[in-house]
Amino acid sequence: QVQLVESGGGLVQPGGSLILSCAASGSVVRVDDMDWYRRAPGKERQLVASITSGGVANLAESVKGRFIISRDNARKTMYLKMNKLKAEDADLYYCNADILDKGPGGEYIASKSWGQGTQVTVAA
């Protein structure tokens, strides 16, 4: 059983910073591409940032210059450093990852996993 758990959300003032984490646990053999998404109630889910296992990163235009995505492959953890936060960044942030894990019979299983989300609130 594979699990993705996000943490680090909270309340921050406009212009402030937060660091989100997404950790994979369970029978994980390998974590490939990882992504951060966000979705506010009533809105479409938006891809915020993505990073390959080799560290190649992509950021949405709306967060370029403010957010930094990184990962620690040994810890199976991805991070999102969010700087200069704006009111429009307030959202529920989810992580997503392409994971290779081992099933109960020792077989390899490739799947796309989602975390439960961590809330980011930006308010004075």
pLDDT digits (tens, 9 = 90+) for 9-67: 999 999 999 999 999 999 999 999 999 999 977 888 999 999 999 999 999 999 999 99
* Residues linked to residue 46 through DSSP beta bridges, in sequence order: 38
Rounded Cα gap, residues 80 and 22, in angstroms = 9
For residue range 67-97, list pLDDT tens digits in order: 999 999 999 999 999 999 999 999 999 999 9
Could you tell me the two tokens for 114?
Answer: 């989602």
Mean pLDDT of the chain: 95
Closest CA to 53 of 34, 26, 68, 27: 34
Place of tokens 């996000």: 6
